[in-house]
Structure 1
Amino acid sequence: MKASRRFLAALAAALTSLAVMGSPALAAPPSNDTYPGAEAIASFPFSTSENTTEATTDADDADLSTAGADVCGVPPAMDASVWFSFTPTQDNVVFADARASDYGAGVFVATGAPGSFTVLDCGPGGAVWDAVANETYYIVVIDDQTDGAGNGGQMELTLDVAPPAPALDVTVNTTGRFDSKTGAAIISGTILCGSDAEFAFLEAQVTQRVGRLLIRGFNGTEVTCDDTVRPWELEVIGDNGLFKGGKAISATLSAACGAVFCSEYFAENQIQLKGKKN
């Protein structure tokens, strides 16, 4: 295709302008952009903030992703990686947390070296592992593009002993109620959930034999976690019939999850359904 004179003139003017202004300076990748430049973490608690928009990826990142396939499942996008190394002086369960980053930051934790990495954990936002004294671990923060974009951003990383599971205490009342009009069973109790929980729920299944049928129903609710004992109540509708007055079995499950660990509760209780719903 022949270029027009107007196009050639515009191109010449643009090249002249670039020659006058000079080439723009390219921003350098961060110093810990690659495995050989991994930033050593001396101790924890540790925190750092870093701009990773100029971070790159290389063959070592690809090797790490491949090594983590059994742990991570489908390998994430390996974009804008930065490397850290950590050699603890005592055994601990350690949490590398990058959730405060302003992009979709994922975290890998591995031992070994390129060609022989062993990935211990990886995940969006953070990773947790059983750290052994005097073993060197590599913590790699990437842009996993779960937010639909790259390349990096303002990365926020903290490293500390993993926080314990939130407190969770559940009781189930041995006496419940039933609604003779709807056939619903109403069961209740109390729950205390620690304020460090990030989410919590409570579910219950009620089972009752009515004649030849075994009536079952299920319901659940989210839980407010504020270190306060709170009453809970669930109205359970039978999937295959109506509940009646008399004995029934409740199977109650609850969980409260913090940044790393979850507390769980499960119990089967014989309850007595009485009266009508108020």
Structure 2
Amino acid sequence: MKIRHVLVAAATTALLVPASALVAVAAPPNNDTVSGARTIASPPKTITQNTTSATTDSVDSDLNAFCGAPATNGSVWFKYVDKSGKGLLVDTSASNYATGVMIVAGNPTSGGALVACGPGMAAATGAAGTTYFVMAFSDTAGVTGGQLKATFSEAPPSPTATLTVAKDAVATKNGSLKVHGTYSCTNADSFNSAIQGQATQRAGRLKINGYFFIDGLTCDGKVRAWKATATSDNGYFASGRATSSSTVFACGLLECAEQSVDRKLTVTKAH
């Protein structure tokens, strides 16, 4: 009878185990750590992956000391050997959660260096044969991951920029100076491309300085006209001689191109 009581008690105890304790925990993905990095053979390549069971570790936090992302949750790893030296662009902005990307030249567990990081996108260029390790992660505290959509492609070509400044300028009735010329740029974002400069004219012992800035350049490779008005807070431009120093800069995802031009100006008075 004692044995029967024990068996009944054991069976009753088993029935009282909470259902939550029987739920299996999903295993982390194979590329949860650097050692399991998924190889990208040749871009362009788009990978979709569920990262809700991914984890984070000290490698992530050590790299983030140089990046400064709000969080490095649910990280997954990829590896790409850049045989051509054209670089790598990684875009995770189409994921259904806020993501961050870090690109490391070399293995981060054995001396690799962080070369690029950013929210939703990052890109890097280096010598042919460079091995890049890419970490995609959730950059939101409290969010492990979601449906990651990562597109790997070659880095965009370097931007170019050229500038000319015409020698003729016009002093307006309010004392400002109108200057003009042409520009051309390629492989750049118009919102990060501009022309800025300074015009200088002597009036006796006084040096009149005026400044100008125009942005939103169209970087399609065509030669386009530009014009700007230099305004001064210490005097009025007049007919005669003047000089200008102008710079065009055009910035792409990775870098900027710029050209500076110094010009002697012949100033006429506006009618």
Encode CA deviations 1:208-259: one digit per residue, 9 max, x unaligned.
Answer: 1112111112121113325233321111111322111111111111111222
String of CA shifts for 1:184-221, please: whole Å, max 9, x gaps. Answer: 00101122233653531111211111121111121211
Structure 1 residue 30: Cα displacement:
3.2
| CA deviation vs aligned residue, 1:252-272 (integer Å, no higher than 9, x gap) | 111112222322121111111
Kindly indicate whether the alpha-carbon contact (under 8 Å) linking 2:164 and 2:261 is maintained by their aligned counterparts in 1. Answer: no
Q: 2: distance between equivalents of 1:178 and 1:155?
A: 58
Shift of 1:76: 5.5
For residues 176-191 of structure 1, the aligned pairs below 5 Å read 176-180=169-173, 182-191=174-183
Would you say 1:245 and 2:245 are equivalent positions? Answer: no
Q: 1:208 to 1:24 in 2, by over 3 A?
A: farther
Aligned AA (2:176): A
Q: Residues 9-158 of structure 1: matches in 2 within 5 Å?
A: 19=19, 26-66=25-65, 69=66, 72=67, 74=68, 77-88=71-82, 90-98=83-91, 100-102=93-95, 103-114=98-109, 116-124=110-118, 125-133=121-129, 136-145=131-140, 150-158=143-151
Residues 37/166 of structure 1: CA separation in 2 closer, same or farther (3 Å cut): same
Q: Within 5 Å, which residues of 2 pair with 1:177-256?
A: 177-180=170-173, 182-194=174-186, 197=189, 199-225=192-218, 227=220, 228-256=222-250
Q: Which amino acid aligns with 1:112?
A: N
User: Residues 136 and 200 of structure 1: is their aligned pair in 2 closer, same or farther, counting only changes over 3 Å?
Assistant: closer
8 Å contact from structure 1 (residues 111, 137) kept in 2:
yes
Deviations 1:162-181 (A, max 9, x none): 2222343322111010113x
Paired letter, 1:161: E
Contact 1:101–1:153 (8 Å) recurs in 2: no
Tell me which moved more, 160-169 or 258-267: 160-169
CA contact 1:91–1:130 (8 Å) conserved in 2:
no
Instruction: Name the stretch that deviates more: 119-128 or 149-158.
Output: 149-158
Q: Contact 2:85–2:127 (CA<8 Å) still a contact in 1?
A: yes
**CA 1:49–1:247: 2 relative to 1, 3 Å:** farther
Give the equivalent residue in structure 1 for 2:10: none
Unaligned 5+ residue runs, structure 2? Answer: 1-15
Asked whether the equivalents of residues 169 and 193 of structure 1 are also in contact (C-alpha less than 8 Å), the reply is yes
Distance 2:79 2:49 in 1: 16
CA contact (8 A) 1:79 1:142 kept: yes
- Preserved CA contact (<8 Å) 1:110 1:117: no
Which is further off, 201-210 or 136-145?
Answer: 136-145
8 A Cα contact 1:111 1:119, kept in partner: yes
Deviation at 1:122, TM superposition (A): 2.2
- How many residue pairs get aligned? The number is 251
Distance 1:244 1:261 in 2: 39
- Shift of the 168–97 alpha-carbon distance from structure 1 to 2, 3 Å rule, reads same
- Mapped to 2, the partners of 1:51 and 1:272 lie a distance apart of 65
**Structure 2 residue identity aligned to 1:232:** W
TM-score, normalisation: structure 1: 0.77
Return the letter of the residue paired with 2:182. Answer: T
- Inter-partner Cα distance in structure 2 for 1:241 and 1:104: 52
TM-score by length of 2: 0.79
Q: Tell me the distance in 1 between the aligned counterparts of 2:128 and 2:70.
A: 27
Greater gyration radius: 2
